[in-house]
Structure 1
Amino acid sequence: MLGTLISSGLLLAGLLFFIAGSVGMLRFPDSYSRLHAVTKADSLGLGSVVAGLMFYCNWWQNLLMLLIWLLVLCSGTVSCQLLARFCKTKQEQA
């Protein structure tokens, strides 16, 4: 019972982070703010979803989810950095 409540809370927190990132991407004025909102909120949202799903999976499935989350964290930061540099060079050229 307690595990179900904790899992539901983590899944709900992940959903709220995903919604906040989507709203931030639509509402923030410049590309740097949008990139920050999407990268941070999606990383936290996926981490919360993975933590919430860990209550229902085997140890090898938990390990696989953690590895996928780490891959998404690394690729998200690298892609955000590359997009920010691309935006900066486009602004300097204009």
Structure 2
Amino acid sequence: MSPDALPLWLDITVSALVLAGAFIAFMGSFGLLRLKTYFERVHSPSIIATLACWCIMHATLIYFSAIDDLALHSLLIALFVAVTVPVTTIFLMRAALFRARRLGEPVPPSLSRTVRASPLDDAPS
């Protein structure tokens, strides 16, 4: 099938997915401007990048599969983004948290219930 002869429903589906991905990416970028601290700002692009990537991936998968055979190259890109974005976000957050603690800056409270005040708290008395 040629790109000129795609059915209308397919054009609408692909266009809707691309627009949804673009809108989601825009909202993630807007979150970078709106949020104040690094610890708040890091969540917006990491979550949004993955979701926007999956919308664009579905659009390209549908479009190129309709033109030619099943096109799985976009699925590999989306899987790579889905794996690497959360991992790099965790590493960046930990590095920023470590740096802020070393500089004595205020940091978000720990969510762990097992945080000790000092290593001496576990020493036998």
Fold in common (TM above 0.5): yes
Q: How many residues align?
A: 92
The answer to whether the aligner puts 1:3 opposite 2:15 as a matched pair is no
Structure 2 residue runs without a partner (length 5+) = 1-7, 104-125
Residue identity opposite 1:84 in structure 2: M
| CA shift for structure 1 position 32 | 2.0
Residue identity opposite 2:74 in structure 1: M
2:61/2:75 contact within 8 Å kept: no
Output the CA distance in 1 between the equivalents of 2:17 and 2:39: 28
Aligned residues: CA RMSD: 1.0
Could you give the per-residue CA deviations for residues 22-56 of structure 1, whole angstroms, max 9, x where no partner exists? 11112211112211100111111111011112222
Name the SS of the counterpart of 2:36 in structure 1. Answer: coil
The answer to whether the aligner puts 1:66 opposite 2:78 as a matched pair is no
What corresponds to 1:91 in structure 2?
100
Tell me which structure has the larger Cα radius of gyration. 2
What corresponds to 2:42 in structure 1?
35
Output the CA distance in 1 between the equivalents of 2:45 and 2:85: 9
Q: Larger RCO: Structure 1 or Structure 2 (Cα < 8 Å, ≥ 6 residues apart)? A: 1
Output the CA distance in 1 between the equivalents of 2:57 and 2:74: 6
What corresponds to 1:77 in structure 2?
86
What corresponds to 1:24 in structure 2?
31
Structure 1 residue runs without a partner (length 5+) = none
One of 16, 19, 34 as aligned partner of 1:12 = 19
Runs of 4+ residues deviating >6 angstroms: none
| CA shift for structure 1 position 76 | 0.3
Name the SS of the counterpart of 1:92 in structure 2. Answer: helix
